[in-house]
Amino acid sequence: MGSSSFIRRLPKAELHLHLEGTVTPETLVELSARHSGPPLELAQARALYEYTDFTGFLMAFKAVSEHLRTPEDYEFVTWRMLERLARQGVVHAEVYVSVGVIYYWRRCEFEPLFLGMERARARAEAELGISLYWIFDAVRHFGPEEAARVFRKAAELRPQFPSIVGIGIGGDERRVGAEPFRELYAEARDAGLRLTAHAGETVGPESIWGAINIGAERLGHALSAVHDPELMDLLAERQIAVEICVTSNLRTGCCPRVEDHPLRRYFDSGLMVTLNSDDPALFQSDLEDEYCLARKGFGFTEEQLRELAANSIEASFLQAERKVTLLRRIESLE
């Protein structure tokens, strides 16, 4: 068996994946044909995905999100995402949905869209055997009031929809740190939600300290932790999971060269490292590619890839029982 077959067969969880970032230009064209108004041409759709830096990437993400309109659109893109994940051997995904973008830019109700997403989730669980939890993501540079609407919606819907597992903040860390969200994070935790935060992607380790200080249990990217030995020790000691997205960091320019990426150093320092794809349609990669990159670009052995897969299950918000089942499957894979 070749290594890529091993990677595909390895049961894995994807913990840092944005629903909107899984939508390809081809899918946008298909969706637009169902909407009223002039249809989107493929070349026009592809142009939305072009960017040269992190700010441009955030704008591209927003432009793609704006083309998702109806509950049926959300159902369709959720189903497509889950089909692709299942093909890569992903058994569980925790998916960010940018509720903050929907509220702030689109000013529309989220529930009808969410019902579409839930239909696809339930169907994929029954037909493909893949589980999915939702993480409601706020855009940090829209400020705490907008984030409050996102997190409170998660808390309100969670009793009826246990698939809503947590909340997070994305967007531009250069403009807003984690501290303004402290009270909202405490409130979300009291409502039974798990806490994540993008941190240390575009700015230094102080942003990661900020996220930990407001209670983030998992850190998106955490690229700059490598510059702070004390922080590295803390991450290793407390086993705070880092959601590493190598291709994303290279494409957005947050990490200019693959040789500079701290993935290997994090793993060797005993951090709880997980591999993730972030926005596969914007970065032309997927989770299988990230594992291949770890092997080819960073020298991870099959046993170490197995450990990364096990980390993804351990760092997930799944119930202990399902974690044990999946970890056994990983251990016994030949």
Q: Which residues are catalytic?
A: 201
Residue 136 binds ligand HPA (CB under 6 A): no
Please select the residue that binds ligand HPA; options are 18, 158, 261, 323, rule is CB under 6 A: 18
Q: Which amino acid does the sequence have at 222?
A: A
Tokens 């929809």 belong to: 161
Which one of Zn ion, ligand HPA, none is in contact with 171 (Cβ closer than 5 to 8 A by kind)?
ligand HPA
Return the residues of window 241-260 that contact ligand HPA according to CB under 6 A: 248
Copy the structure tokens of residue 64: 């793609």
Distance in Å, CB of 103 to ligand HPA, minimum = 15
Nearer Cβ to ligand HPA (22/312) = 22
Q: How many residues does the chain have?
A: 334
Tokens 């899984």 belong to: 22
Please select the residue that binds ligand HPA; options are 153, 158, 194, 198, rule is CB under 6 A: 198
Return the residues of window 249-278 that contact Zn ion according to CB under 5 A: 278
Distance in Å, CB of 261 to ligand HPA, minimum = 15
Contact 315, 301 (CB under 8 A): no
Task: Using CB positions, name the residue nearest to ligand HPA.
Answer: 170
CA separation (Å) from 273 to 64, 77, 220, 222, 318? 29, 28, 11, 10, 17
Distance in Å, CB of 138 to Zn ion, minimum = 12
Number of residues that bind ligand HPA (CB under 6 A): 10
Please select the residue that binds ligand HPA; options are 14, 73, 278, 288, rule is CB under 6 A: 278
HSE value, Cβ hemisphere, 13 Å, CA-based, for 118? 13
Q: CB within 8 A of 303, min separation 6: which ones?
A: none
Order of all β-strands in the sheet with 131-139: 12-18, 90-97, 131-139, 164-170, 194-199, 218-221, 241-244, 273-275
Residue 20 binds Zn ion (CB under 5 A): no
Q: Interface with ligand HPA by CB under 6 A: which residues?
A: 18, 21, 61, 170-171, 198, 201, 248, 278-279
Q: Interface with Zn ion by CB under 5 A: which residues?
A: 278
